[in-house]
Amino acid sequence: MIGLDRSLGIEVKGSIGDVDAEADVVLHMTNSFFDQFKGQILDLLGRGFDIVSTSEELLFPWLDNPEPAAEIDAAAKKAGKTVLGTGVNPGFLMDSLPLFITSIAQRVDHIDVSRVINASIRRGPFQAKIGCGLSADEFNARMAEGRMGHVGIPESVAMTFDTLGKKLVKFRNDVVPVIADASVSTSHFDVEAGQVRGLHQTCTADTEEGEFLSLSFRAALDEEPAGDTITIKGHPDLVVTLKGTNGDITTVAMAVNAIKNTKNAPPGLVTMRDLPIVTVS
């Protein structure tokens, strides 16, 4: 259910096997984790589609999921098709964009990316994913299961380190709940004081010389000021700030805008760094 009181004239099918319409590219927006989406990707490749996917673990899977990534890469090459993992985060804000900014630096000593999201304007599933309405104990229990919170930070780290030729020797990823001081309501959740209104996730990654990358992701109801800041220390020092990067809108934009470059890319599992610059289509 998407909450509309009218028909869009679009027929919804239960599986890709039920779709008769001709197509060249599939926009795949289903699950975050390899064990959930790998079969879907292989099925789509077997049916002859190029794929642009927003599954976070597909962004740069060669570090944490090398075997299933190799399986998808082989299947794509056998089918003569291309698979791209992308999105706004991961896919842009914490990896592709900072990497592109380094092109105007003579030396990079440290990269820091901070993302702050006012989750009150985001869709219901996103608010649920960051733990809204849970107790702190419930939040920590679900985080321990590994299926809640922001997915994709390890992939952003892997893509950044690999692209810049850095050796990853230490990785820390911590998530804590953001507790409401007063009640806050959206069209999806009523959060009382003392309950979780979001999360704050911090990650640092070291080379042999020390910390090289730090990532901060804070998403909570009524969180202000929202925005994204990329800080690069080196020669020269660089700071880039963005406003208005609503992930519900920008993720869709990235997926659609990446179709052309994905179609023109060689067969296999590719990443954002393999494509020409993606622009609005």
Q: What is the CATH number of the domain that holds 186?
A: 3.30.360
Q: Are residues 41 and 107 in the same domain?
A: no
Q: Are residues 147 and 230 in the same domain?
A: yes
Angle at alpha carbon of residue 86, lines to 94 and 22, rounded to 5°: 170
SS (H, E, C) 118-149: EHHHCCHHHHHHCCCCCCHHHHHHHHHHCCCC
Cis peptide before 225 (omega within 30 of 0): yes
Among candidate residues 96, 209, 238, 109, the one with its CA nearest the CA of residue 162: 96
Is residue 279 included in any domain, yes or no? Answer: no
Q: Do 236 and 120 have their domain in common? A: yes
- Do 103 and 241 sit in the same domain of this protein? yes
31 domain-assigned: yes
Q: Answer yes or no: do 115 and 238 share one domain.
A: yes
Q: Return the pLDDT at 233.
A: 98
Residue 258 CB partners (closer than 8 Å, separation 6+): 52, 84, 86, 272, 275, 278
The per-residue pLDDT for 2 is 58
Domain membership flag for residue 8? no
- 138 and 47 co-located in one domain: no
Same domain (yes/no): 81, 100: no
Whether 73 and 190 map to the same domain: the answer is no
Whether the predicted pLDDT of 236 surpasses 80: yes
Task: For 160-175, write each residue's pLDDT tens digit.
Answer: 999 999 999 999 999 9
Residues 132 and 161 in one domain: yes
66 shares its domain with 121:
no
Q: What total of structural domains would you count in the chain?
A: 2
Distance CA(58)–CA(269), nearest Å, equals 9
pLDDT tens digit string along 1-37?
456 677 777 778 888 778 777 888 999 999 999 999 9
For residue 45, report the phi and psi dihedrals to the nearest 5 degrees: -65, -40
**pLDDT of residue 156 exceeding 70:** yes
Find out whether 52 and 27 touch, Cβ atoms under 8 Å.
Answer: yes
Residue 1, in any domain of the structure:
no
Q: What is the pTM of this model?
A: 0.93
Q: Residue 188 to residues 119, 121, 127, 221, 248: CA-CA distances in angstroms?
A: 11, 10, 8, 11, 15
Instruction: Give CA angle at 139 (138, 143), nearest 5°.
Output: 115
Give the model confidence (pLDDT) of 201-220 as tens digits.
999 999 999 999 999 999 99
Q: What's residue 12's pLDDT?
A: 80
Which amino acid is located at 29 in the chain? M
Q: What pLDDT is stored for residue 3 in this prediction?
A: 62
Residue 266 DSSP code: P
Give the model confidence (pLDDT) of 59-98 as tens digits: 999 999 999 999 999 999 999 999 999 999 999 999 999 9
Residues of the domain holding 146: 96-245
119 and 219 co-located in one domain:
yes
Q: Is residue 129 one of the residues assigned to a domain?
A: yes
> Quick check: is 281 in a domain?
no
In a domain, 134, yes or no: yes
* pLDDT, position 14: 80
11, part of any domain = no
The verdict on 162 and 75 lying in the same domain is no
pLDDT at residue 206, as a whole number: 98
- Asked if residue 276 has pLDDT above 70, the reply is yes
**Whole-number pLDDT of residue 57:** 97
